[in-house]
Copies of this chain bind each other. A is one copy, B any other.
């Protein structure tokens, strides 16, 4: 019933994209392809351990220091694991500014700028660009689930990409949002000159393959949203991954992609298989409290989470350690 509305916004969206293209041509600035190839941790946001839940920029820098030793392609600031829904807009921008200052120019800074409202997303995107983001990663709006049709998604992302001075990466994470950006909508959006890729965290490897297939010939790159399926994603044509586990084991996740690129498939597959259980522990099973606890265990600063998330009980902290140890990661 009432299904026709899904198709309503196409003409409008295409019109705006066309204007965007003209504008770009007018200033004679050829769109440089932003090469997203590689591994990124969606960095966690460090809070002070004094119970005040304030952002702790010293700990942020010390973490970035550790990360600098691994061949990461860059960082996603304000992914799901950054507790962005618990930060004010000002905190979100400040975090990006600090990361940009702290890391060298050859490491990409991707900034999460998604909000529920299209207007808010446009505004925060502009602030993120100004704060130094190389690109923005825009999560799907999700509150009115039945209203988030393909047409609504296409209109939303088109408006954001039209207005943005930096490239836009789509971001679909159904486990948190309850909304899955369809392959059909992605194929449409991939034609926009300022939309350069997607982070897809659903773990549906055939959808990843389909998106690569449907967008070939476009300037469009698909990133795996988790280390648990990074290797198969690379095999079907993804260019890298934004992986929570890279907050804890940055070298190992980079090594996974390096082994693949070197054609050392058996070693890659063995490493991939070992990563699944630790990855599940710090994502699906224990969430951000588990991720931060694992960081604490591995020479990084995890620290407390913001409420309503609860700290990890000691018993589970023990079991978490066991999962990493069982997989051979101390």
**Which of B9, B153, B203, B269 sits near A236, CB closer than 8 Å?**
B269
Interface size bracket, A side: 35 or more
Ranked 7 nearest A-B pairs via Cβ: A232-B232, A206-B228, A118-B307, A213-B273, A156-B308, A86-B117, A85-B116
Output the least CB separation between A264 and chain B (Å): 12
Are A310 and B5 in contact (CB-based, < 8 A)? yes
Taking a contact as CB atoms under 8 Å apart, the answer to whether B316 and A141 are in contact is: no
Contact with B along A229-253 (1 / 0, CB 8 A): 1011101110000000000000000
Whether B176 pairs with A143 at a CB distance below 8 angstroms is yes
Taking CB atoms and an 8 Å cut-off, the chain A residues in 117-136 that contact chain B are 117-120
Does A55 have its Cβ within 8 Å of any Cβ on chain B?
no
A316 to B3, CA, bound (A): 9
Residues of B contacting A232 in the complex (Cβ-Cβ under 8 angstroms) = 205, 209, 229, 231-233, 235-236
Question: A159 contacts the other chain (Cβ, under 8 Å)?
Answer: yes
Residues on A lying within 8 angstroms of B by beta carbon are 1-5, 8-9, 53, 80, 85-86, 88, 116-120, 141, 143-149, 151-153, 155-156, 159, 175-178, 203-207, 209-210, 212-213, 226, 228-229, 231-233, 235-237, 265, 269, 272-274, 276-277, 279-280, 284-290, 306-310, 312-313, 315-316, 319
Kindly list chain B residues whose C-beta atoms are within 8 Å of the C-beta of A80: 143-144
Query: B319–A206 contact, CB under 8 A?
Result: no
Given A8-B313, A85-B116, A235-B231, check contact A147 B288 (CB 8 Å). Answer: yes
